Amino acid sequence: MEVSITLLQEIEHKALTLSISERGKLIRNLLTTIDNQSDYSNDFEKEIQERVNKIKSGNAVGIYRLQLMFFQILRKNTNDGSSFS
């Protein structure tokens, strides 16, 4: 089914006026229609669940922790007389 660009633009404009919660519901509904036709839906669900479990268990490594580790290594190397220049 061909949908004109103007109709797609109108739908996008209306979707952007929705609240975040409403957009989330819309996205979920749209993805569900794709997931029913996709072999990847189980892989995505598994990945999402693994990430949620890591966050809940406190085992997820976030950007802040990675930055902290980088700066600790950098500080150690510069204190040892090493240079990064």
- How much is the pTM? 0.37
| Per-residue pLDDT reduced to its tens digit, 46-71 | 888 888 888 888 887 677 777 788 88
Evaluate whether 7 touches 13 at the Cβ level (below 8 Å).
Answer: no
| Per-residue pLDDT reduced to its tens digit, 1-59 | 566 678 888 999 999 999 999 999 999 888 888 756 656 667 778 888 888 888 888 88
**Which stretch of DSSP H or E encloses residue 42?**
helix 41-57
